[in-house]
Amino acid sequence: MQLCIYRVYNRFIFSEPYSVYRVSLNGMTSIGNGTVAPLTARTNQSTPGKPGSVQLERISSTELYLTWTSPSDPNGVIIGYRIVWSILRDDKNMSVSNSVSKTEIINNGSTASFGIDKLEPYSVYRVSLNGMTSIGNGTIVTLTTRTNQSTPGKPGNVQLERISSTELDLTWTSPSDPNGVITGYRIVWSILRDDKNMSVSNSVSKTEIIHNASTVSFRIEKLGPYSMYSVSLNAMTRIGNGTVVTLTARTNQSSHMTISVTQVYDITTPFPLF
């Protein structure tokens, strides 16, 4: 009797990556099914599905905190995560078109959080996250959020102008780095030297709080003639006072002269008249 050996090949299509399948094989004759030969095999890995429960939390004006859980469809062995972030809008809510993205590769499949620091205050950031297998990057999850407010930078173009012997005019523009929503301005002034150029050591400063972010000028009145004043200005957000700008200026000389009469004499007599 001649024995013939045939090799039969068949391809099975399975829907799930990196999953174990059991395949049973048996021969058949006209009498019926033969002995079953059970086989098991695992499909190859693929790129993973998206991470779960992704959250982006604001920690401070310069920090965000990203958390997640492992993908529900890992499609293989998760070897790590890839995080990419970039700024979308600055603290003046202006679009940032030339933003350069930054990337962090986490080579640890069990890691489930990451802190992003050294960011700009009160700015909108886009943060993307995906898992990785040995095959490559998985489905991306993208979130956006704005960092918290901070205290503002210094006002711009601050000028202090002499108006009269008792008045100074202070003008400025909004800070180039507001770091939040400007709620107003704080002005503090005090006398440094009097009209005789003598230092005034016991000077009491005065303060004006302007609760209007659109205000860009303030007149300081009821000052001493020909006296040197120190004037400080800072912007405010709800977080607090910003960087202070201080200027000094002397008021104008007074055009009025005060004559004090203590005694009156009659030119015809040597005796004083009272």
Q: What's the average pLDDT block by block, 10 residues per block, for the chain (274 residues)?
A: 56 66 75 79 86 98 99 96 98 94 98 99 98 98 99 99 98 98 99 96 95 98 98 99 99 75 56 50
Amino acid 206: pLDDT: 98
Amino acid 270: pLDDT: 56
In the chain, the amino acid numbered 263 is: Q
Class of domain 156-250: mainly beta
Amino acid 10: pLDDT: 60
Q: Please tell me if the domain spanning 51-146 has the same topology as the one spanning 156-250.
A: yes
Please give the span between the terminal C-alpha atoms of the chain, in angstroms, as a whole number. 163
Amino acid 91: pLDDT: 97
Amino acid 272: pLDDT: 54
Rg over alpha carbons for the chain, rounded to the nearest Å, is: 40
Cα separations in angstroms, 22 against 10, 39, 184:
15, 6, 72
Strands (E), the chain: 20-25, 37-42, 52-58, 64-69, 80-89, 102-106, 113-116, 124-133, 136-137, 141-146, 156-162, 168-173, 184-193, 206-210, 217-220, 228-237, 240-241, 245-250, 264-265, 272-273
Amino acid 274: pLDDT: 47
List the domain boundaries for the chain: 51-146, 156-250
C-alpha 30, offset from chain centre: 78
Amino acid 18: pLDDT: 67
CATH architecture, domain 51-146: Sandwich (2.60)
Buried b (16+ CB within 10 A) or exposed e, 208-235: eebeebeebebebeebbbbbbbbbbbbb
Amino acid 39: pLDDT: 73
Cα separations in angstroms, 92 against 71, 139, 239:
37, 33, 16
C-alpha 211, offset from chain centre: 23
